[in-house]
Structure 1
């Protein structure tokens, strides 16, 4: 078997070895098979794009459709029929539908509105840290990284506090990937539960609207212009809740892990708070929480990197690989919070083009505040067992890039 074939096989299987170090595989693919045909477990012809310039172009290529209803047979084979009711949203659509849906939600994520959330986010961070034991090991993922963004997005949507743990549990089940019948049944039930929950919540807010995004979207839905269907409203609520916490939680976990593994970088940010914004961008580039962009499919024959992608094939864009491409970034495998030219649009961790992550300003602010307040309150924080290697999520094919656990001691010196 050639090196390229070995790399392809590893990428297809997503073995524990791949999860521990996907970047070595991606480096071989960029060099030897930058547009790599794959045969994932779902059986659909798929091409993986790994180089930066190809990835950036593909993310905004109108020939690569996000409307998975246009590839319905492939969509059903991968996700099952139960996903359809929750996927009638901007993530799975092209213009003009995508443009219309994005416009309706965009006002909630402007830089001004996001900055207005700063005091509330700081309050949540302090509450979570107050509840953590300082001098004994604590898993920072369930104690801090996950409840922070789920609380923020539920506040924004108007989800009652008593329902937030349920939302996190159900969305975690939906986010898991697998192909066994038991897995599919659990995922289908979670999708049905979420659809039912948001339908009931929308009905309740229609009778008693609040000062929240979901109530505002209901007003649009019930207006005279017909801008939002009931199906789109339910699906958009799910999308915002799902995308608004899972990726940010893993990003916070990855960021803390890598800063603790790179003490000089941790010290640089702790001693120079003005570096925090650049540091977050570098951490997204270095090991962000979204390893691959969501599926696209070719509406016609397209060519990337000298490889023909036939009409009807699925396309995955490896953001983690693009962000380590030495053709774009000097010394890409080094974490450098002072990286020159670290502009926010350099990396592809939040995507590119019309589907650029709508919640990127909020994810940035949450991560910046999470790290800043951790530095301030626990400057001596350390990994509970520095000799132990990280345990990464294991999935049948890469979507999220995140840790399965993050045991730390917040104040080891007492």
Structure 2
């Protein structure tokens, strides 16, 4: 994340003022313990809570099927409260004190890049289950979410063909928003389109009036939103209140991750188009059974199962398949097993670990929001993480440990 000095000091001061959040542990001494480090409070809790629920369901299923290696799996959970200092503190605690076999956590790229070196240092396997800008190359890390070559590559050609060639981007002001904006420009150019302007906003900004006026003046054919988190949801409300959703269509690479389409009214959300690997409306027996199990565990009134929840659920099951194949929870043996190209038939479709990048090959869906639901418009099977593959080959360079900024 791009921090100013003022923001950095504010973050550190906030962390110093917080008492350490208690560890919520379902672990027993003889269990195989995995860690959950997701935002259960703070500005990103709308994203973190479903990811935590996904871990609970996946672990229950693993245990109901007999556990792993003759043992039950349990979860140690900590809430970093959307605070970067706490991410670092709790990641280290989970690795050293709680001795988790693998850690699942992080939402923003900033949080991932706080967690990842801690896990690397203390030899604890790490799964990052969030769509992001691509480029992470670290043998100790597995990324189960989408990268721009998988979803943005499909979204931009679709919307430019449907709506026109002039794009205005509004994005979160950190790695994901900035780099995704570059990918949007790339795919727009390939489609004969142009990005007229790009505006970036810190995660705590919730006033967008001046930007809406700028968009009105620019007269684009569409707006593409790369906004993130609870505060940014205000943009969609203010956009609709100004009557702009009736004049200029909108697509997004992030809308739906925090159940925005459930929180907003149909008048505010209808017509927004996005691309993800998972939508609850995927019409397959595997997904229908998954949705049924989810509601049985969490209640029929659970608002919506989104992309980040599905990716986390699938990430836990991929880890479990790696442990089974390795016959051990040993970190290196599990990594080697996962690198054989393990697949899981999950709610989003077939998900396969790419050995060279530790990312996933997966299906992508383009969908439109209609009355708090998603109508799938187009589907693309088994999309590979070719952007990250262009800079990362862990088979040839297993000691690589960085996030590359992919040349766009």
TM-score calculated relative to the size of structure 1? 0.31
Higher relative contact order (CA 8 A, sep 6+): 1
| Structure number with higher strand proportion | 2
